[in-house]
Amino acid sequence: MSASLRDKPIDRLTDAEAAKELKSLASEIALHDEAYHRDDAPTITDADYDALRNRNAAIENRFPKLVRTDSPSRKVGADVASGFKKVKHGTAMLSLDNLFSDDDVRDFDARIRRFLKLSADDNVEMTAEPKIDGLSFSARYDNGRLSVAATRGDGAEGEDITANMRTIKALPDLLMGDAPKVIEVRGEVYMTKADFLAMNDAQAKKGGKIFANPRNAAAGSLRQLDPKITAERPLRLFAYASGLVDGMDWETHWEFLRQLKAWGFPTNPDAKLCKSVDDIIGAYRKLESRRAALDYDIDGIVYKVNRIDWQKRLGFVSRAPRWASAHKFPAQQAETVLEEIEIQVGRTGALTPVAHLTPVNVGGVMVSRATLHNKDEIERKDIRKGDTVVIQRAGDVIPQIVEVKLDQRPKSSRKFAFPDHCPVCGSKAHREEDEAVMRCTGGLVCKAQAVERLRHFVSRDAFDIDGMGEKNIEAFFEDGTIKGPADLFTLEERDKNSLTPLRAKEGWGPQSAEKLFKAVNARRTVSLERLIYALGIRLIGQAKARLLAQNYGSFQKWRKAMVDIVNGDKDVYAQLEGIESFGEAVSDELVAFFAEKQNLDAVDRLYDQLEKVEDFVKADTSNSKIAGLTVVFTGNLERMTRNEAKSKAQSLGAKVSGSVSKNTDLVVAGPGAGSKLKEAEGLGVKVIDEEAFVRLIGG
Ligand code: IVH
């Protein structure tokens, strides 16, 4: 977006300008949504993101006719390539209202006393607990045994992460001592600062994904479709609340925390029981002074009314309890010197400025880089090499520069000149009129873009080829061994003919070469959705790749449609744009990709090398005995995990539900089944055991 348009007051926009800006906001917000939700790697601050959404909403408000089909305001969150099943929470997972000052805290206390009609000298006992900056979870125990664990999701239902949570040693599988019939235990999964730094180091060495901060690392590790990956990540947790409870109660929250500990959950050692509002403010000061020394990120302190009968009376307002609030810490800031501004070139050619800083400790994490976003941002803040800058880490964003200390600016300092050429390949850099970023026009000729694309191509969710770290890809690209995806598949053949004596290359021996060939050969058959995702087309993440595969069915049909669109076929374009959640911004990216002849050639050369691109298959349920039935699983399964059973049932056309009702057709009950089994019996729903289920689905 050109700076002038993005900054123009909304009441002065013409219709054409408003339309143009809504288009650019849609594509920009979609990119940020993917970065945040799919990659757990946001590239802008929450405040900047909110500003984009607010501007979008305000423009739509003034120009209701211009609201786009792909408008961010029509989407709830991002369409995530989740792959996880949904789980309904027994009671909603709420958020907390924020308090920012001592006055806010006193108001909070006063509100509670007013609500409960307490007198001025009645004190309200509260707990004060560190607010962990991680990812919240809810773990349900039936008769003391872990049955299902979920993310918070939208508060009413989350994603089923049971298999992943089971890999975290700190989460008890069986509660020690007496347990209620049902309890949902809630808490936060986090990563320590030290583990986060060590993990990022290891990831960098093997060319894996680097996370911006411990929170994103924890979230990214937990939301893995393969629990084996989660198991390798150093995840920890604290338990701090309950959801649905059946068969036990407590008089105070403090008592409940002790019970959690007795059951075997880690609880936070810095939680305090406070007698009065002065006490909780004191606890806040104390914890704030120790914040940087803690081995994990916290972003505030949570106060909770201790008496549970009072909690019940206080209840909720919209999505937050009246009996609890979060007192936030200010963002952690530090001063340092900006040594260099580096321009990095990404997979899609975007030139992103990055600040290299004299390393500085910000809240216990050493920071040596900060994002500068784009050209406009540098100009707006007039950021220059040699400046002393204030940087901050705020909650879940990567470090950013909040202020330039102009009084400390060296005399010799000069304005930063944003390059108009790609620093890697020298091609001209171009800025689309409605975009904030400059892009290298070198396409696959540009080493930076080619290497980033190859890296994406071999990554786990794409072709998943082991043994091709960043260093290898760069070296191969530089000496011309591999220029594009197809070359990976001809490597073995060429190596046999001594065209690329890989076995003689530095760092390679016959063994590692064989291993790579094997890894490559194992991927000559690939699903259409993976192939599409692997191409690394802008805005086409896993979710959109899957939708494309689903809509076109086969590689040939998809390819033909793309070529037809490039040749101007309006009907085919309309069909593409009509795919759920696509719209113009996404469709235009696809068209732009295929309009480049070199891209179509690269896709065709790749296709020639593959044995098979599997069509998108809708599950065949013609022989299924459970197609159309609503099935509920309860208790423990022994021959498969609950997740496997569910996905098997779904692939055979059944609907899997988390609770028993009169609409349930079948309950599969294992040992330890409790309330659901009883309900099923009460309703006369058919109940079978795991053995019978296995027979039913054909072994
Ligand atoms: S209690 C109804 N305690 O903060 C009360 N939440 O901003 C439920 N959080 O969604 C929450 N540490 O993910 C509670 N000690 C703590 C917490 C905590 C972190 C998170 C939690 C919640 C969010 C609200």
* CATH code for position 357: 2.40.50.140
At 542, the amino acid letter reads Q
Domain boundary among 40, 74, 108: 74
Q: Does residue 352 lie in a domain region? A: yes
Closest C-alpha to ligand 1, atom 22: 95
Question: Is 260's C-beta closer than 6 angstroms to any atom of ligand 1?
Answer: no
Q: Is the CB of 452 under 6 A from ligand 1?
A: no
pLDDT category of residue 79 using cuts at 50, 70 and 90: very low
Note the pTM of the prediction, 2 decimals. 0.56
Work out the percent of the chain whose per-residue pLDDT is above 70.
Answer: 93
Whether 454 is covered by a domain: the verdict is no
Distance (angstroms) between ligand 1 centre and the Cα of 98 equals 11
Judge residue 187's burial from the number of C-beta atoms within 10 Å of its C-beta, 0-12 exposed, 13-18 middle, 19 or more buried. Answer: buried
* Whether residue 293 sits in one domain with residue 169: yes
Residues 26, 92 share a domain: no
Q: How sure is the predictor about 126, in pLDDT bands with cuts at 50, 70 and 90?
A: very high
Assess whether 480 and 397 both reside in one domain. Answer: no
Model confidence pLDDT, tens digit, residues 339-354: 999 999 988 889 999 9
User: So what's the pLDDT on residue 224?
Assistant: 85
Same domain, 399 and 470: no
Among residues 542, 633, 629, 621, the alpha carbon closest in space to that of 87 is found at 633
Same domain? For 92 and 210 the reply is yes
| Closest CA relative to residue 139, chosen from 313, 309, 263, 35 | 263
Residue owning the nearest CA to atom 10 of ligand 1: 95
How many structural domains comprise the chain?
A: 5
Tell whether the model's pLDDT for residue 47 goes beyond 70. Answer: no
Average pLDDT of 511-533?
Answer: 92
Atom 9, ligand 1: residue with shortest CA distance: 131
3-class secondary-structure state, position 61: helix
| CATH code, domain with 270 | 3.30.470.30
Last residue of a domain, one of 269, 302, 328: 328
Q: What angle do CA 486, 488, 489 make, to 5 degrees?
A: 70
pLDDT value at residue 647:
63
Q: Is the CB of 513 under 6 A from ligand 1?
A: no
Closest atom of ligand 1 to 136 CA is 13
Catalytic residue, candidates 131, 193, 272, 375: 131
Whether 354 is in a domain gets the answer yes
The helix/strand/coil state of 357 is strand
Answer with the one of 593, 616, 639 that is the final residue of a domain: 616
Cα(650) to ligand 1 centroid in Å equals 33
Residue 527 lies in a domain: yes
Measured from the Cα of 130, ligand 1's closest atom is: 15
pLDDT in tens, 193-215: 999 989 988 887 776 777 878 88
Task: Supply the CATH number for residue 559's domain.
Answer: 1.10.150.20
CB 444 within 8 A of CB 597: no
Tens digits of residue pLDDT in 603-612: 999 999 999 9
pLDDT at 80: 37
**Are 137 and 270 contained in the same domain?**
yes
Q: Does pLDDT of 313 surpass 70?
A: yes
**Considering the domain boundaries, does residue 289 fall inside one?**
yes
Best-predicted range by mean pLDDT (135-149, 305-319, 465-479): 135-149
CB 59 within 8 A of CB 21: yes
266 & 137 share domain: yes
Check pocket membership of 299 for ligand 1, CB cut-off 6 A.
Answer: no
Q: Are residues 485 and 556 in the same domain?
A: yes
CATH classification of the domain holding 43:
1.10.287.610
Domain co-membership, 530 together with 589: yes
- More confident position, 320 or 606: 606
647-681 burial code (b ≥16 CB/10 A, e <16): ebbeebbbbbbbebeeebebbbbbeebbbbbebbe
User: Mean per-residue pLDDT for 636-647?
Assistant: 74
Minimum CA distance residue for ligand 1 atom 1: 241
Q: Report whether residue 322 contacts ligand 1, using a CB cutoff of 6 Å.
A: no
Same structural domain, 600 and 518? yes
CATH number at residue 692: 3.40.50.10190
Q: How far is CA 402 from CA 298, 361, 392, in A?
A: 21, 16, 7
Residue 633's alpha-carbon distances to 423, 621, 647, 669, in angstroms, are 57, 20, 12, 6
Closest residue to atom 8 of ligand 1, CA basis = 94
Q: Is 131 a catalytic residue?
A: yes
- For residues 531 and 457, give the distance between their C-alpha atoms in angstroms, rounded to a whole number: 9
What residues contact residue 403 under an 8 Å CB cut-off, 6+ apart? 389, 390
Whether 152 and 24 map to the same domain: the answer is no
Q: Is residue 292 included in any domain, yes or no?
A: yes
Which of 34-43, 557-566, 664-673 bottoms out in mean pLDDT, i.e. has the lowest? Answer: 34-43
Could you tell which of 94, 126, 240, 302 is best to mutate to test the pocket of ligand 1, judged by most ligand atoms within 8 Å of the CB?
A: 302
Domain residue limits at 314: 86-328
Residue 43, in any domain of the structure: yes
**586 and 644 assigned to the same domain:** no
Average pLDDT over the chain, rounded to whole? 88
Closest atom of ligand 1 relative to the 94 alpha carbon? 2
Answer whether residue 611 is part of any domain: yes
